Chains A and B, each alone.
Chain A
Amino acid sequence: MSAYGAAVVVDRAPGSRDVAPVDPGDLAIVQRVLAPLEETPRFWLVLFAICALGTALGLFAVGYTLWLGIGAWGNNIPVAWAFDIVNFVWWIGIGHAGTFISAFLLLLNQPWRAAFNRMAEAMTLFAVAIAGAFPLLHLGRPWFFYWLMPYPATMGVWPNFKSALPWDAAAVGTYFLVSVMFFYLGLIPDLATSRDRLTGRTRRRVYGVFALGWSGTSSQWRRHRAALKIIAGIAAALVVSVHSIVSFDFAIAQLSGWHSTILPPYFVLGAIYSGFAMVLALAIPVRGWYGMQTIITIDHLERLAKLLLTVCLLLTYCYTAEFSTAAYSNDPLEHATYFAHWPAGPFGWLFWTMLVLNVVVPQVLWFRRYRRNLNVLAGVAIGVLVGMWLERFIIIVSSLAQGALPSTWHGFVPTWVDWGILVGSLSFFGLCFLLFLRFVPAASMGELRRHRIEKIYDGWP
């Protein structure tokens, strides 16, 4: 008899709670995913300390910027946008792969996404939150950031919606909130398993509150799946719109190098490219450290490598289209930007490095041997991350430094504050990701187990 008036009328296996599970392979997934939630390994502490140190440096640089103003950066006129906007575009681009893996692959019924969709979604959250901080800092007076929102102020001053800045605010804000809802909704069943499986009263209580009382009924699973699919459909459209809107910041300006209709698809592809690279760069070490080789298999990484190569080719097409459009335009300014200032200007060496890292190096992924070699894969991924950062640097700084009026030309040298904020943002990302790995189930157990069952029993209903 229990507290609410239930009676056990048949008990075939008294004390059955201690009996070993019937299907150990199935339970192994739960054990593997939940193990990191119960211990703090040494490498975690070391990495956490490093990231905390870097974050402290970043916070100091941000504080210095708030104190002195953005004169603390290397920005000047005409290079009014530099590291701040480069970092913004780069970080928000990295976020896109998380949504791509979660949403597109869910809609396309690709079960292998379950191995790293949670990790990629977490990456999205942190990357978008970090990205959003850069334009706010660049406002100069970030404490007035809420002026970007249309709220009924006594001053009666509204944002100008014909400017790209409020579009950005709407896009990044929406993207962050939608990502949070998508991430959390997918997480609820795993939080319930954590609530029921982990030891320790406090731990179970905290996970219990966040699990919202999930009990895995047939209705809950069905509606959960339906809700995820609908949100995935929305997120798939949203993710394309976000980087398109980011590209409008450039495309609606008059500057040659920015003023181009190819920018929206080009930016979206670049975003997905750097994001896939970040997923690889994170998944490869994490699976090793946490012994998750059975969950994130080499086949999964190989598929991701193929996607990376596909996006690489698409992006190469965009580069070609961009340059041939410039050539075809017969506009002397376009010619100067694309054929003199970018490849042979003061940042020409960065331009060529960018092309090597983004276009040439990833071609090794044509070979199966290298797609399945973790060192090569991680190297290519980190190369692409650097290359994509450089691409944004070339587009922004190289175009601004040598504009239409040669008498205004000016170089750009980043200050320690610029570097400090960049290092700080990377460290803060690492810090958030480490906390995620420590406290949140890093893979969707329900989905992994369902796929295992479907694989083992052919024709499972």
Chain B
Amino acid sequence: MKVLAEFATPDAALHALAAVKSLGYLDVATHAPFPLTTEEAHAPHGSLPLALLAGGAGLTGVAAGYVVQWWANVASYPLNIGGRPFHAAAAFVPATFETLCLLATAGVFLGFLLFERLPRLWQPEFEIEGFERSSVDRFWVVLNAGKTTVEQVTRDLVPLNPLRIVVSEGDA
């Protein structure tokens, strides 16, 4: 069971976030029109998977870029221009560096979409009336209540002064 509480100001939402965490709710998230916490705004933690993906994709780019050049100019079609070596490692550096950058960036970009399971044009929350203001001037705290009853969660949330409390059945 998922409970969503709507707030009118970022400080109210942040206060509520801290409050429900201290009450023992573990699975808590927010919907906000801008990064609410320092962690969201500057992301010092939680970037390792993306960074690893960038590294892996980048190394693939290096290998692919170099091998293609080697294959083209050494194995498949060696071209003797002024007696220069067929395998000219220095000359292969620029294009290899570019494939490194290209694949690393593509890895991060696609990784972001994959980890966040986007694109998902419809999401259950979007059915809540007025939820579209969550990207404009409203702030939502979402908590997974688990086995706690609706009455209990409501009792916990009401003192935090939300505009609305919405309960959804199922794991939506």
Contact = CB atoms under 8 A, between A and B. Distances in A.
A4 B166 CA distance: 12
A196 interface: yes
Nearest to A225: B43
Contacts, number: 261
A446 B72 contact: no
Given A8-B164, A230-B108, A231-B109, A446 B134 contact: no
Interface stretch (A63-71, A234-242, A304-312, A429-437): A234-242
Size class of the A contact interface (CB-based, 8 Å): 35 or more
Contacts of A192: 135
A6 B99 contact: no
A2 interface: yes
Contact of A6 (B8, B58, B119, B168): B168
A295 interface: no
Interface in B113-162: 113, 115-116, 118-130, 132-137, 142, 150, 154, 157-158, 161-162
Contacts of B135: 189, 192-193, 195-197, 214-216
Contact of A22 (B9, B39, B76, B162): B9
A228 to B, nearest CB: 8
A446 B33 CA distance: 6
A224 to B, nearest CB: 7
B73 A158 contact: yes
Interface string B5-33: 00011110010000000000000011111
Nearest to B97: A241
Contacts of B128: 2, 6
Contacts of A227: 50, 108-109, 111-112
Size class of the B contact interface (CB-based, 8 Å): 35 or more
Contacts of B69: 150, 161
A314 interface: no
A16 B37 CA distance: 26
B167 interface: yes
A219 B157 CA distance: 22
A447 B35 CA distance: 8
B32 A221 contact: yes
Contacts of B136: 27, 30, 193, 196-197
B54 to A, nearest CB: 5
A174 interface: yes
A215 B134 contact: yes
B31 A234 contact: no
A13 to B, nearest CB: 5
Contacts of B99: 170, 174
Nearest to B4: A6
B95 interface: yes
Nearest to A197: B136
A185 interface: yes
Interface string A435-461: 000000000011101100110010011
A234 B97 CA distance: 11
B73 A161 contact: yes
B120 A213 contact: yes
A21 interface: yes
A446 B35 contact: yes
A335 interface: no
B125 to A, nearest CB: 6
Nearest to A5: B169
A226 B46 contact: yes
Interface in B19-75: 29-43, 46-47, 50-51, 54, 58, 65, 68-69, 72-73
Contact of B50 (A16, A22, A230): A230
Contact of B36 (A2, A7, A218): A218
A461 B167 contact: no
Contacts of B115: 223
Contact of A11 (B9, B111, B112, B164): B164
Interface stretch (A39-47, A53-61, A175-183, A339-347): A175-183
Contacts of A30: 33, 136-137
Given A2-B129, A6-B128, A450-B35, A213 B123 contact: yes
A436 B46 CA distance: 33
Contacts of A104: none
Interface in A242-289: 245, 248
A372 B124 CA distance: 50
B140 to A, nearest CB: 9
Interface in A154-198: 156-162, 166-167, 170-171, 173-174, 177-178, 181-182, 185, 189, 192-193, 195-197
Given A9-B166, A215-B31, 14 more contacts: A4-B170, A6-B168, A9-B154, A17-B130, A161-B88, A171-B94, A178-B101, A195-B132, A195-B135, A197-B135, A218-B30, A222-B39, A230-B108, A237-B101
Interface of B: 4, 8-11, 14, 29-43, 46-47, 50-51, 54, 58, 65, 68-69, 72-73, 76-77, 79, 81, 84, 88, 91-92, 94-95, 97-99, 101-102, 104-106, 108-109, 111-113, 115-116, 118-130, 132-137, 142, 150, 154, 157-158, 161-170, 172
